[in-house]
């Protein structure tokens, strides 16, 4: 059974299952790029996607505020400085425990 949770402008239905798998893939790519630098071809193999799909996901990641870097081997990667999700706000945790 599919539940419709949205609709594209061209009237294609977007299902909960489709949404979840896209989100899973997006988060997996972020995790892989945070672990170590990877080429587009390597991401294609890991994620079982076409080159075009990988570039679309990389663009989406960049537009979301997680800035990708690229080294001289054409490998993309994410550093903690460029990833608001990956940062561990140590000062906030220390302030919260001191106030309690």
Is a pLDDT exceeding 50 seen at residue 94? Answer: yes
In this predicted structure, the answer to whether residue 88 has a pLDDT above a threshold of 70 is no
Q: Which residues contact 36 (CB under 8 A, 6 or more apart)?
A: 77
In this prediction, residues 46-63 reach a mean pLDDT of 93
Between CA 40 and CA 50 the distance in angstroms is 10
CA 33 to chain centre: 9
Q: What is the pLDDT of residue 80?
A: 79
Q: Is the pLDDT of residue 14 over 60?
A: no
Going from N- to C-terminal start, the domains of the chain cover: 4-99
CATH 1.10.10.10 is the classification of domain 4-99: yes
């Amino acid at each position: 059974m599919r539940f419709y949770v949205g609709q594209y402008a061209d009237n294609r239905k977007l299902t909960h299952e489709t949404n979840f798998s896209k989100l899973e893939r997006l988060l997996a790519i972020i995790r892989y790029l945070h672990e170590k630098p990877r080429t587009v071809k390597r991401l294609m193999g890991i994620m079982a996607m076409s080159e075009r799909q990988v570039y679309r996901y990389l663009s989406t990641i960049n537009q979301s505020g997680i800035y990708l870097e690229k080294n001289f081997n054409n490998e993309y990667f994410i550093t903690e400085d460029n990833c608001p999700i990956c940062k561990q706000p140590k000062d906030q945790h220390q302030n919260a425990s001191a106030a309690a």
